[in-house]
Amino acid sequence: MQNNVRALRVAAHLSQVELASAAGITRQTLSLIEKGAYNPSLKLCLNICYRLGQTLDQVFWVAPGDQ
Amino acid sequence: MQNNVRALRVAAHLSQVELASAAGITRQTLSLIEKGAYNPSLKLCLNICYRLGQTLDQVFWVAPGDQ
DNA sequence: TAAGGATGTAATATATATATTACATTGCGG
DNA sequence: CCGCAATGTAATATATATATTACATCCTTA
């Protein structure tokens, strides 16, 4: 689990389709990001944060040792 | 100015070469990121943060209206 | 004045993020 | 049981991030 996208999305009662389209990406791409299989771009991360009402640190921060 | 990389790098007394190599990228790529011409990947953003001793929000956050 | 460090930037090549299309499974409400 | 929403995932195509090489300017300092 490299990020908190899934947990925060579920907590916000959003489907993958809803969050993905709000962020301007496809459901498949979001699925892989949630899984940690993709290394998303900054713009994409920001768009996800905006829709979730969270910041980059809350959604995507990984402490130096934890990678 | 879409991010704070340059200001924080200069404040840390690091050259582009030093920060770039610490982050695993080239000087040219860092130059374009500082300029806001590139849309860096999350891993790259994290590596820059680690070297700068800052978090994603401190270096890369852009408020929803400010893009 | 010359040399070197720091930076900007362009051209081309390569890697990889992302889209598209398609098919599969799971679980829930009718 | 049936249908549908939600999700996983694979194959291929496309866009774009990043590397590489190269050359340029500016500034400092010896």
Chain B CB contacts of A30 below 8 Å: none
Domain that residue B38 falls in: 5-58
In the prediction, which pLDDT does B43 show?
96
Q: Which of B39, B42, B64 sits opposite A50 (nearest CB)?
A: B64
Q: Do B41 and A43 touch (CB under 8 A)?
A: no
| Domain annotation covers residue B65 | no
pTM for the whole structure: 0.94
C-alpha torsion sign, points B46, B47, B48, B51: positive
Work out the number of other CB atoms within 10 angstroms of the CB of residue A33. 26
In this prediction, residue B1 carries a pLDDT of 62
Mark yes or no for CB contact A42/B39 under 8 Å: yes
Structural domain contains residue B21: yes
Question: Quick check: is B64 in a domain?
Answer: no
Query: What is the average per-residue pLDDT within B6-34?
Result: 97
Is B40 part of the contact surface with chain A (CB cutoff 8 Å)? yes
**Residue B63 forms part of a structural domain:** no
> How many structural domains are present in chain A?
1
B20 within 8 A of B27, measured Cβ to Cβ: yes
Q: Following CA atoms B49, A7, A32, A64 in sequence, which dihedral angle do they give, to the nearest 10 degrees?
A: 20
pLDDT confidence bin for B7, thresholds 50/70/90: very high
Angle at A20 between CA A38 and CA B36, to 5 degrees: 65
Q: The domain spanning residue B14 has which CATH number?
A: 1.10.260.40
